Amino acid sequence: MLPIQRREKTVSQNDILKVEDLKKYFPVEKSFLEKMLTRSRSYVKAVDNVSFSVRKGEVFTLAGESGCGKTTTGRLIVRLIPPTSGKIFFENVEITALKGEALRVLKRRIQIIFQDPYASLNPRMKIGDAVGHPLEIHGLARNEEKRKRVLQILEHVGLTPSEKFVDLYPHQLSGGQRQRAAMARSLVLQPEFIVADEPVSMIDVSLRTAIIDLMLNLRKEFGLTYLFITHDLAIAKYISDRIAIMYLGKIVELGDKQTIFSNPMHPYTQALLSAIPVPNPERKRKTAELIGDVPSAINIPPGCRFRTRCEYAEEACKEKEPELIPVSPDHYVACDLAEK
Amino acid sequence: MDPMAQSLITVDALSVEYWTRKGKIRAVEDVSFALEKAETLGVVGESGSGKSTLGLSLIGLGPFPGRIVKGKITLKGKEILKLRKEDMRNLRGKEICYVFQDPMTSLNPVKKIGPHFVELIRTHDPKVTEEEALKRAKKLLKDVGIQPERINDYPHQLSGGMRQRVMIALAITLNPSIVVADEPTTALDVIVQAKILDLLNVLRDAYGMALILITHDLSIVLERSDEILVMYAGHVVEHSSSKDIYSNPQHPYTKGLLKSIPNIELAEQKLEAIAGSPPDLLNLPRGCRFWPRCYYVMERCRQEAPPLMNTGAEHFTRCFLYKEGKKL
């Protein structure tokens, strides 16, 4: 168990991860002159008050456009970057400020798969060494034992014959095979929770399905829970149990996938869904009108942050920021108009 | 599809090769199609299928060390592969235009938006004054949904979607009859993507241009084009109307693609993956290029390469499961 004191139970029994009011502000670098002239600092509010929980064994998806904060949220959860404020609980234990050995043990249990399999594998390390490296770092296995575990995990992710793949370098692998190797490297530590950050967006279309199916099979085999991060709602619909839609650093709607797709209530979710291409030439498309572009995350509009692009925006939307409130069991929307 | 009829553009048995140190690669082999005014042709394929090489060849920019080794491209009755460099340069922009994938890198970062237009307009017609060119630029920006004042911005001051709009405005500046859009929305978010594709449709109808839409995303071409070329490892493996490709896909690769893309309008869907991965073009399998991944592979497929056959009204498939005229 993690060597830190237990906090009181804030997580319900089947939640594996809980995030509370998480914030990440990146300071904007200023020139010397600007620093002298102005006192105030400005920040990119990448993640701005995000709360959600992930149930054991589910695929929870964070979806949204570029710049919405989905990747930053993922990185905060695996403790790659420290949050500005807020709390993260993993299996009832607060992990926000873990250090040293405790953090190392945590990282064994929470792993991440990155988007770009061309950049996430060291080009000068053989696949076998890359996959075995985490075992050495965590002092779990060496030499023969390590080799055995590496071969085993390569079989699991479909890199067969595994004896051949251990001696290959990343450039000898296709994109899909590299992503499998990256998955093997995460899985070799037998984690319970995996943050998958756009794992298929850089992979050829005909190979994507195989990777997604592999992820779903591994979930069963290893009892994994996924936080899946994607911009592609069609894939999100296929893989997820529950989906949270993010806009400018905030969750605007959260619900199980049937609800999100059949009864989207936030105007942003509606626009996002209407923009997805559907592989059917007979279908007449009607894309919802969205005004302009996403505002900068440095100057987030006060009140509802979506109101500048919303066709239903009213005076009241300028006044106060809507909170993420339940409209039905397990369906949360951050829009004051959706309630009506 | 009579190739001899007065089509806007006809491509006949085009083959493009790259000569590399490791050997010769046929990136595009024996591709033919014809396109009419105000039509959209979707070219769909994975990386390495030859779709971009095909697009670049159409505007005479077959990238070095690529060369067109065979074939004929006829644009409005003119054989453009036989044109002198200078004549081709004149044609490019005026008759046929290219919208590149990455709007971040296809505009000059040290030039404001206005001068991009001025240069293009005055290169083709030096008589136009700068003021006049800027005036036209403002109108074009308005057409693609950008405030005309942005003409004084630098590219980095615009968002990705706006830059792609500028690229499209540049492409239609000289009123070309064909626009080739190579993955025009791949770098963009889904809402922006839908808007850009809508814009291309509107412009196509307004100016009567033909549109060649090159993408890896089968959903997009099914939704947006009249006809579809499915490419695999340099070959056209299937060619038909998008309605036919959707309702009656013939080639196992097309079938596999259709089964592997998620459709949000279906309540329950089981996706099926295509086994294996695309071949190395330096090391193509003998026989059909798709056989190592094919579910229906037969002995014959490993020995000889199937030709592109007319397998139905306006439907062409490169597969031995079909015979000229009907299915076996």
Q: What residue segments make up the domains of chain A, in order of their start?
A: 15-279+286-333
Find the closest chain A residue to B215 by CA distance: A205
Backbone phi, then psi, for A240, in 5-degree steps?
-85, 160
Tell me the C-alpha to C-alpha distance, in Å, between residue B21 and each of B18, B24, B25, B282: 10, 8, 10, 11
Question: Tokens representing B89?
Answer: 């340069």
Q: Does an H or E element contain B300, and which?
A: helix B299-303
Q: Does an H or E element contain B196, and which?
A: helix B190-207
**What's domain B9-95+176-327's superfamily in CATH?**
P-loop containing nucleotide triphosphate hydrolases (3.40.50.300)
C-alpha distance from A292 to closest chain B C-alpha (Å): 10
Cβ neighbours, 10 Å, residue A123: 10
When computed from its CA atoms, the radius of gyration of chain A, rounded to whole angstroms, is: 21
Q: Domain limits of chain B?
A: 9-95+176-327
Find the closest chain B residue to A285 by CA distance: B223
pTM for this structure?
0.86
Using alpha carbons, select from B267, B190, B223, B271 the residue that is nearest to residue A262.
B267
**pLDDT for residue B42:** 96
The rounded percent of chain A whose pLDDT value lies above 90 is 66
Contact assignment for B194 to A277 by CB distance below 8 Å: yes
**pLDDT for residue B325:** 67
Find the closest chain A residue to B198 by CA distance: A287
Interface test with A, best of B46, B197, B223 (most A CBs within 10 A): B223
Contact assignment for B223 to A66 by CB distance below 8 Å: no
Q: Name every chain A residue with its beta carbon within 8 A of the beta carbon of B223.
A: 277-281, 283, 285
Would an 8 Å CB–CB cutoff place A293 in contact with chain B?
Answer: yes
Of B159, B198, B273, the CB nearest to A287: B198
Question: Tokens representing A121?
Answer: 């594998």
Contact assignment for A207 to B271 by CB distance below 8 Å: no
Separation between Cα atoms, residue B274 and residue A206, nearest integer Å: 6
Would an 8 Å CB–CB cutoff place A118 in contact with chain B?
Answer: no
* Residues A104-115: tens digit of each pLDDT: 999 999 999 998
Helical segments of chain A, H only: 32-37, 70-77, 100-109, 127-137, 143-156, 162-165, 175-187, 205-222, 233-239, 257-262, 267-274, 316-319
Using alpha carbons, select from A219, A11, A171, A204 the residue that is nearest to residue A95.
A11
Find the closest chain B residue to A210 by CA distance: B273
The pLDDT mean for chain A works out to: 89
pLDDT mean values, one per 10 residues, chain A (340 residues) = 42 81 91 78 91 95 92 95 95 91 93 91 95 94 93 94 94 91 95 94 86 93 95 92 96 95 93 90 74 83 91 89 90 85
Q: Name every chain B residue with its beta carbon within 8 A of the beta carbon of A177.
A: 277
What's the distance, Cα to Cα, between the start and end of chain B in Å? 24
C-alpha distance from A204 to closest chain B C-alpha (Å): 6
C-alpha distance from B226 to closest chain A C-alpha (Å): 9
Classify B262 in phi/psi space as left (phi over 0), alpha (psi -120 to 50) or beta: beta
**How many C-alpha atoms does B204 have within 13 Å on its Cβ side?**
23
Which amino acid is present at B252?
P
Q: Name every chain B residue with its beta carbon within 8 A of the beta carbon of A272.
A: 190-191
Separation between Cα atoms, residue A253 and residue A267, nearest integer Å: 10
Backbone phi, then psi, for B324, in 5-degree steps?
-45, 120
How many Cβ pairs closer than 8 A exist between chain A and B? 126
Q: Name every chain A residue with its beta carbon within 8 A of the beta carbon of B277.
A: 174, 176-177, 204, 206-207
Parallel, antiparallel, or unpaired for β A85-90 and A242-247?
A: unpaired
Q: Name every chain B residue with its beta carbon within 8 A of the beta carbon of A205.
A: 46, 216-218, 257, 260-261
Interface test with B, best of A248, A278, A291, A311 (most B CBs within 10 A): A278
**pLDDT for residue A11:** 46
Contacting residues for A225 by C-beta, under 8 A, at least 6 apart: A16, A17, A54, A55, A56, A57, A58, A59, A60, A192, A193, A194, A219
Q: Are B234 and B52 in contact (CB under 8 A)?
A: no
Separation between Cα atoms, residue A182 and residue A220, nearest integer Å: 19
Question: Tokens representing B282?
Answer: 């330096």
Would an 8 Å CB–CB cutoff place A292 in contact with chain B?
Answer: no
Separation between Cα atoms, residue A171 and residue A122, nearest integer Å: 10
Q: Name every chain B residue with its beta carbon within 8 A of the beta carbon of A232.
A: 190
Would an 8 Å CB–CB cutoff place A275 in contact with chain B?
Answer: yes
Contact assignment for A234 to B258 by CB distance below 8 Å: no
C-alpha distance from B81 to closest chain A C-alpha (Å): 32
Of A205, A238, A281, the CB nearest to B269: A238
**pLDDT for residue A13:** 58
Contact assignment for A277 to B220 by CB distance below 8 Å: yes
Domain A15-279+286-333's class? alpha beta
Parallel, antiparallel, or unpaired for β A193-197 and B210-215?
A: unpaired
Q: Name every chain B residue with its beta carbon within 8 A of the beta carbon of A277.
A: 193-194, 197, 217, 219-220, 222-224
Of B159, B220, B263, the CB nearest to A293: B159
Contact assignment for B223 to A281 by CB distance below 8 Å: yes
Using alpha carbons, select from B199, B263, B102 the residue that is nearest to residue A232.
B263
Question: Tokens representing A131?
Answer: 């996959």
Interface test with A, best of B241, B261, B266, B290 (most A CBs within 10 A): B261
* Residues B167-214: tens digit of each pLDDT: 999 999 998 999 999 998 887 888 888 888 998 999 899 988 999 999
- The residue ranges of chain B whose pLDDT is under 70 are 1-5, 63-64, 325-328
Separation between Cα atoms, residue B21 and residue B2, nearest integer Å: 40
Q: Name every chain B residue with its beta carbon within 8 A of the beta carbon of A293.
A: 159, 161-162, 192
Q: Are B239 and B230 in contact (CB under 8 A)?
A: yes
Burial of B320 (0-12, 13-18, 19+ CB in 10 A): buried
Q: Name every chain A residue with its beta carbon within 8 A of the beta carbon of B263.
A: 234, 278-280
- The alpha carbon of residue A33 and the mean position of all alpha carbons in its chain are separated, in whole angstroms, by 38
Interface test with A, best of B22, B146, B188, B191 (most A CBs within 10 A): B191
> 294-333 in A: which are within 8 Å (CB) of B?
294
Contact assignment for B261 to A231 by CB distance below 8 Å: no
When computed from its CA atoms, the radius of gyration of chain B, rounded to whole angstroms, is: 21
**pLDDT for residue B238:** 96
Question: Tokens representing A336?
Answer: 């004051």
**How many C-alpha atoms does A104 have within 13 Å on its Cβ side?**
9
C-alpha distance from A5 to closest chain B C-alpha (Å): 44
Contact assignment for A204 to B258 by CB distance below 8 Å: no
Interface test with B, best of A201, A206, A283, A286 (most B CBs within 10 A): A206
